Structures are given as structure tokens and as C-alpha cells.
A and B are shown apart, each in its own frame.
Chain A
Amino acid sequence: MSRTSAKPEQTRHDIDLVKRIAQRDETALSELYDRFSGLLQALSRRILGDHEEAEDVVQDVYVQVWNQAGRYDASRASVSTWLSLIVRSRSIDRLRSRAVKDRTAKAAHEENPVTDASPTGEPNVLGDERRARLQAELQALPKEQREVLHLAFFEGMTQSEISESHGIPLGTVKTRTLLAMKKMRAALADEIHELL
């Protein structure tokens, strides 16, 4: 199975961009925006199920990056992971703050995600081939494991919350989540290695 590799030079370049942003270089912010905004929008919308809210989240995150880029620590995470996890976290915060949570749309996203590239055909940070493979790996998980991983990762539910809301023993939730995470970590071993 062929795999698309993230170039280590690109990873270094991303780090350089964040350093330049910390020095108030707006061209670096522009480049970082061009590089990751599509990905981050997709992630936020997957969590929130709303186009406009996702745009708000991504903009807030870029404002935060502009103001606090100096806090980025390259030894803790790659830039792509750093940005993705911030967006995930902010999106989940917003999800939790909603008065009425409509998870139906997101469930539909989970089961039937849109899988093709953007109509502009612009390159994505994560190559289509690799993304398709990741989605296949996610789909290959047993349904029970995929469900808990979805609830924990894209809806930000804690293990206890999943246990309570779905009537599953906490130990079982943890077991399923661990199995799913370990499988995904094993499946992503090559990509993780490239980012370290």
C-alpha cells in the first residue's frame, strides 16, 4: 500500500512560520493561514456541524496564534497537530456552550462523511490518499470502538460521560477507547514518526 509522506522540510518550515509569527511577521501568518485553514475549517465543522461557527472558531484560533505564537513548543507537538488540537478544543468548548445540542448532523457526518477534495482542487495539508487511508482505518474499527472514539474525540465527551449517557460500564468504555486508540496509533506509526 503506497503512502504519501509528509516532508520533513515542510514540518521544519511550519515551525519556522510560527517563529516568524512570534516576531510579528504578517506574511508568515498569511502563509500559515493558506496552508492550514482548509484543514482546520473541516475539522471544526465536523465537530460543530456548522459552517459559520467553524469559520468563527478558526478565526479565533488564528488570532490566538498571532498573539501567542511564542508559546508554541516544537518539542511538544508538530505545528499541524498543535493547530488541529487547539481547533478541536475550541470547537468542543463551543459545542458544550450551546443551549441545545443537535448531534444528529454530526452523527450523519460520522457515518457518511463527504470524502472528496475541495472543488478548487487545491492541495490539502493531508494528501487525499493518506486521508482516505486514515478514514478507512477508522472505518475498519469495530462499530463499538469507532463510536466511543468519535464521542471522545469529536464530541469531547469524557469516559465517564460516555459511560453515563450510553449506559455502558466505565471499564468497557475505557477498553474500547484504548483498543481504538492503539489501533489508530499503530496504523499511523509512519506518519507519527515523520512528525517527531
Chain B
Amino acid sequence: MTKDTESQPHKPTPEEEALLAVLDGADPFTEGGAPGAKRADLEALGLMAQAATPMIGFSRATRAAAKVALFNRLDLPMGQTSGVGSTPETVLPFLKPQSTPVRQSNLVPLALAAAVLLAVGLGAWSGFLMSELKQSRTLVAGLESELDERANQIEVGIGPNDFQQVLFENRRLRHQIGVATKPNTRVCALSAVAADQPMATGAVFLRPDEHVWVIATNNLAKCELGRRYRLWFLGEDGSVMGGELLEHVNGETEFEIASGELPDGASAVLVTLEFPDQFGEQPGGARVLYGERSVEIY
């Protein structure tokens, strides 16, 4: 596995260079596309593209208008198309044909008169229905327009606000807790080693098969301005195997959780409090938490 450290950039193999090239030339419409592009790599990129969020404000009505514009541009009829931009024909109730033949007698004029009355009645009823339908369509169009407007207002109003942040945090935490609670996860308890933070504790959940770790901390002191907590993985001989800044772990709240990339062969975990301007390849700040034994849970 490639180590996840900035100081040791991995020299890409030809296959990996091809993977990187897919990013630059992933356009299936251009002749040839990216050199060496593999189907699986393209599909992965396609799926990542599809992870883009759905559009608030791009409602059915807006989409219908865009579709009409497209079909007009292509000079194609909309009548036979289906979906959001089409306007299906109104289907009127089907009248069953009369099964009993009408006798030719003096009742014929009466029957004709009745038929005329029926036709007039049906015509009036159809007119009423069409009028109602027209009103309903106007109402629906108005509501859709209002919905668009409201959605746009919400979108503008929300921006990068707390609500979205909460949703996002919720998903991040669910993902991390999901990692921590999978079968065969190992856990390494972290104990306080800093004299000024004796109540600090933590646990690192390790999934070597997925090269993922999740850390949960308790009672860490709030970072002073300009300081950040950083996690380090140490080898058996104490050498540093990698380290990552702990996003979302800054002592702002009692319980905090973060995750990252697990290097191969780590045997101990250390959390330090570092000055970002002085980040080096070795722990330089105060040592806060340490753990070296892991057990398999579940």
C-alpha cells in the first residue's frame, strides 16, 4: 500500500499513471479518450460525478421548460414524447356501444331527440371538464412556479449554513461509527500521558484490511489558537510510520471523532498537540494520548 504521508511521495507505476490520466482525459466523446483508460476507472469517475447533489430549484416545471427548449432547438415534436415535458391528451370516458338494436318505429323521432339531448349534454359536460382541467393546469403551473421560487429562496437563504452542516456532520459520523462497529474491528485504548490533561481518554478503532482508522476522544482540552491535535502511528521500534492532523478533534466538545488512512505495520498510536507552522515528520508537540495494545471486538 502507498503510505499516506506527504514526505514520501509514491512514484506511480505505469498503471497508476494511466489511472491519473483518466482524470485529465475522461471524455468518452473525444477520439480515443484517456490513454490506457480502463472501463472500471471510467465507471468509478462516472459514479463520483453522480454523487453530485441534486438540484434544489430544478423542479419538474423548470425541467419541463428546459426540455421544451431542447426539443425546439432540435426542431423535434413534443407531442409524441413522454415524461416531464409532454402534455398527454385528455382521455374522455369511453361510451359503450348500444348492444340492443333500436327498432325502426314511431319511436325514432323520440330516440333522435334523446340522442341530440345526450350529445348536447355530453358536449356541455366535456366543456365543463375541459374548463376544470384548464383551471387545474393553471393552478398546478402556479404552484410549481411558487415552489420553484420558494426552493430558490431556501437555496439562497441556506448557503453554507448550520442546517447543511448538521446534515453533513450526521453523515460523516454515521460513516465513522459504521466503520468502528463492523465485525473484526480492533480497538486500541488511549490513555492520558499529558500532566495537564489527566482526564483525557480515547480509543482508536482499526480496520487493517480497509486501511482505515477512526479515533474517538473524550475530555481533550480545547486547542489554543494556532494549535492542532495530530495523530501518529508508530512502528515496533518507535519509528514514526505516518501522521495526520485530526480534523474535527480540537477539544471544542467533550466527545469527538475523526478518521483517516491506516499505514501497514503500525503498533502504537500517539496523539500530540502541535503548532501547525512547525509540523514536521516527527512528533514535536506535547504528548497527550498514547496506546499500544489493540484487541479485536465483536
Contacts and interface: CB of A to CB of B under 8 A. Distances in A.
- Main secondary structure on chain A at its contact with chain B? helix
Nearest to B41: A185
Contact of B42 (A34, A85, A139): A85
8 contacts: A31-B81, A62-B70, A76-B33, A76-B39, A126-B51, A142-B260, A153-B45, A174-B10
Nearest to B8: A175
Given A39-B52, A114-B164, A152-B23, A136 B43 contact: no
A119 B19 contact: no
Interface in B5-64: 6, 8-12, 16, 19-20, 23-24, 26-30, 33, 39-60, 63
A138 B155 CA distance: 23
Given A29-B81, A30-B83, 6 more contacts: A30-B81, A30-B82, A113-B53, A140-B172, A171-B9, A178-B16
B40 to A, nearest CB: 5
Contact of A81 (B29, B45, B83, B147): B45
Nearest to B83: A34
A140 B55 CA distance: 23
Given A64-B29, A158-B24, A45 B74 contact: no
Interface residues of B, number: 86
Contacts of B155: 114
Interface in A129-183: 131-140, 142-145, 152-153, 158-159, 168-169, 171-172, 174-179, 181-182
Contact of B45 (A85, A171, A174, A175): A85
B226 interface: no
Contacts of A196: 39-40, 43
Interface of B: 2, 4, 6, 8-12, 16, 19-20, 23-24, 26-30, 33, 39-60, 63, 66-67, 69-71, 73-74, 76-78, 80-86, 147, 150-151, 155, 158-161, 164-165, 167-168, 171-172, 174-176, 178-179, 210, 212, 244-245, 247, 259-261
Contacts of A122: 60
A30 B67 contact: yes
A100 interface: no
Contacts of B24: 152, 158-159
B53 to A, nearest CB: 5
Contacts of B41: 181, 185
Contacts of A132: 171
B143 to A, nearest CB: 11
A9 interface: no
Contacts of B47: 81, 126, 134, 188, 191-192, 195
B39 A77 contact: yes
Contacts of A29: 74, 76, 81
Nearest to A113: B53
Nearest to B45: A85
Nearest to B245: A143
A68 B50 CA distance: 23
